[in-house]
Chains A and B, each alone.
Chain A
Amino acid sequence: MNYILLAVLLMAIVTYLPRVLPIVVFQRKIKSVRIKSFLYYTPYAVLGAMTFPSILFSTGNMYSSIAGTLTALILAYYEQGLMKVALSAVLVVAVCELCFYHL
């Protein structure tokens, strides 16, 4: 239990620090184009690496995962909102799993 609480505390600290430090410390803009660019691309890289291939193992079986992934990709391409994309993917996965279950 101490291990979990300590882990949660550490997570909270390293989540808060990047949020609070720049806004409190930096009053002037960063000059280095390289650093600015690196920071700019970080979220895309993180989200990409986190999503694939993990999304393919996120449900009961890989077929329903692929169906859900395709649904999300198509809806996201047409720039539907976060909630719509997330819930549609969940629904498609559920329908696929129900079909498998009854086959």
Chain B
Amino acid sequence: MNNLQYQTKNKYTQEITEGIKDFKDGFYKGLPIAFGYIPVAFAFGIMAVKGGIPVWIAILISMTNLTSAGQFAGAGLIIANATLLEITVTTFVINIRYMLMSLSLSQKIVERMPGVQRSIMAFGITDETFAVASLEEKEITFPFMMGLIIGPYWGWALGTALGAMLTTFLPEIWQDSLGIALYAMFIALIVPASKKSKAAFVVVIVAISLSCFFRWLPCINQISQGWVIIIATIIASTIGAVFFPRSEDEI
């Protein structure tokens, strides 16, 4: 009896030790992401506050959404006084990509992870944390994922707070210049992928062409930016799926 108790206790201690190790491992791997998020979140804070969104709401958006493209688009639509339906649909369509990442991670995490832990770690899935997690060779544990997420989460929140609060003090030239930060980050995400895969390149070019088309062609340039992104994405991704279907093991 005593022996069994001792063994149970020992196993428990071991689990905790491994948990702490995984957490630390994840935390260090998340640090570069955290620092990378600060300037982009800074730009978001500025963009939101300049558009008339209160400072605390800008921070609230970052802490509840934790996504770049979606909340930039969402905040832009709030500023433009768009309808709630338009905001919801646009943000959702932009975030559809997370379904694939979430799906992919569901095959990567330890099999017995309880639903509660899955729901908590799901909140921290971003393009970058997903990329790091899916490149791990071992199975992903809950402590690892928590460690990976915590740095980027606070980097994103802190950057937003700084940007939102410093807007009034920052010279206009720097405010203007920071406007390009997020787009530059997007370019850093799509260019390497387009270099490696012809299919990704074609999809990107089709999406860009459609987006420019809608922006500059008379009459149809009345359609709002949100819907343009939705239409361009659906057409370009469908073309990708039809002409470059991916084989079973490629995802």
Contact = CB atoms under 8 A, between A and B. Distances in A.
A94 B208 contact: no
B66 to A, nearest CB: 7
A35 B186 CA distance: 24
A68 B184 contact: yes
A8 B71 CA distance: 9
A103 interface: no
Contacts of A22: 99-100, 102-103, 106
A58 B72 CA distance: 12
B233 interface: yes
Contact of B97 (A8, A14, A46, A68): A46
Candidate in A5, A16, A51 with the most chain B CB atoms within 10 angstroms:
A51
A37 B122 CA distance: 22
Contacts of B84: 3, 6-7, 10
B103 A30 contact: yes
Interface residues of B, number: 105
Nearest to B183: A55
B179 A58 contact: yes
B150 interface: no
Interface stretch (B4-12, B17-25, B160-168, B199-207): B199-207
Contact of B189 (A6, A17, A55, A82): A82
Contacts of B232: 45, 48-49
B212 to A, nearest CB: 5
Interface-centre pick from A14, A20, A42 (highest chain B CB count, 10 A): A42
A88 B91 CA distance: 28
Contacts of A18: 92, 95-99, 102
Nearest to A60: B176
Given A15-B70, A23-B121, A75-B188, 9 more contacts: A8-B61, A19-B95, A38-B238, A38-B241, A44-B193, A44-B207, A51-B183, A72-B187, A76-B191
Interface of B: 32, 35-36, 39-40, 53-54, 57, 60-61, 64-67, 69-74, 77-78, 84, 87-88, 91-103, 105-107, 109, 115, 118-119, 121-123, 125, 127-128, 172-174, 176-195, 199-200, 203-208, 210-212, 215-216, 225, 228-229, 232-233, 236-238, 240-242, 244-248, 250-251
Top 7 nearest A-B pairs (CB, nearest first) are: A41-B240, A76-B191, A89-B184, A48-B207, A45-B236, A60-B176, A85-B188
